[in-house]
Chains A and B, each alone.
Chain A
Amino acid sequence: MIAKTLLASASALLLSVSPTTLAAESPTDPQIAHIAYTAGLLDVHAGEQALRQAADPAVRQFAQTMIRDHKAVNQQAIALLKKLGLRPEPNATSEKLTSQARDTAAHLGSLTGRSCDKAYIRNEVAFHRQVNEALSNSLIPNARNAQLKSLLENGLALFQAHQSHAEHLLSQLK
């Protein structure tokens, strides 16, 4: 986990290419759509797992917000993709996100009580930071369709708020 966070910070400095950053050279719109949608879906699942396991009321409320917000954005994304006739295309980046989330879920599943609450929030900080970096440095700059770009930009504002919220929660949990 610490190693992951360090890598994320290091890649933030490099501004793009690194194994943990989500930067395929220039993803196409169908790939961008799949990455963004997958990220949202994974965070919904993480929130659902937290609701089954977490005890702290503020952590539970955060998880509920993540589920509600990411579902709302993904519904909007589905509607837009349908309208544009754009079919999301699975790719190495979204696959990487998925396998990473699988590991995190397994780790979280082995924890209980306070350490579980903390691990979930710590991971939410790392996850949103990673996705926000990808949005800023790769997905938004590479998006060709204006409406897709605009949806991603709105998503970024929301996910940045999520990241700050999670960072604040984490400092409270210490």
Chain B
Amino acid sequence: MGRFQSLATAIAGAALLAPPPAGATPRGHVVVIANMKFGPVPPHLKAGDTIIWINKDIIRHTATAKDQTFHVDLPPGGSGKTVVPGPGRHAFYCVYHPTMTGLLSASK
């Protein structure tokens, strides 16, 4: 488990300490990477939700927040999980291929 992932876990843990508003069970979302591009990021993400990143390429990628709120290494044909960070807009990229970028918006 990497430093960023531990950090993401810690953030998720902290989010659990505050009682979530009724009906705000954390949800799972999927972002697919194919042919050197991040696919669409689902709208209406909430802090504490989970994102599963699926790497369909034959090369290794990462999904890494520019503000360092999440980071996960994605082996070829593999996947990884991160927790949606606190409310706001979070730009992300692949550390190996910095031309691969995306943006996610999280609400409370």
Contact = CB atoms under 8 A, between A and B. Distances in A.
A78 B18 CA distance: 53
A161 B100 CA distance: 8
Nearest to A163: B99
B99 A69 contact: no
Interface in A150-174: 154, 157-158, 160-162, 164-165, 168
A68 interface: yes
A126 interface: no
Contacts of B16: none
Interface string B11-40: 000000000000000000000000110000
Contacts of A46: none
Nearest to B36: A157
Interface residues of B, number: 12
Contacts of A72: 58-60, 76
Contacts of A65: 96-97
A76 B57 CA distance: 11
Interface string B52-65: 00000111100000
Contacts of A157: 35-36
Contacts of B100: 161
Contacts of A116: none
Interface string B69-108: 0000000100000000000000000001111100000000
Contacts of A139: none
Given A157-B36, A158-B36, A73 B99 contact: no
A72 B57 CA distance: 10
6 closest Cβ pairs, A-B complex: A157-B36, A65-B96, A164-B99, A161-B97, A72-B59, A161-B99
22 contacts: A65-B97, A68-B59, A68-B60, A68-B96, A69-B59, A69-B60, A72-B58, A72-B59, A72-B60, A73-B59, A75-B58, A76-B58, A154-B35, A157-B35, A158-B57, A158-B59, A158-B97, A161-B99, A162-B97, A165-B97, A165-B98, A165-B99
Interface of B: 35-36, 57-60, 76, 96-100
Given A68-B59, A164-B99, 13 more contacts: A65-B96, A68-B60, A68-B96, A69-B59, A72-B58, A73-B58, A75-B58, A154-B35, A154-B58, A157-B36, A158-B57, A161-B100, A165-B99
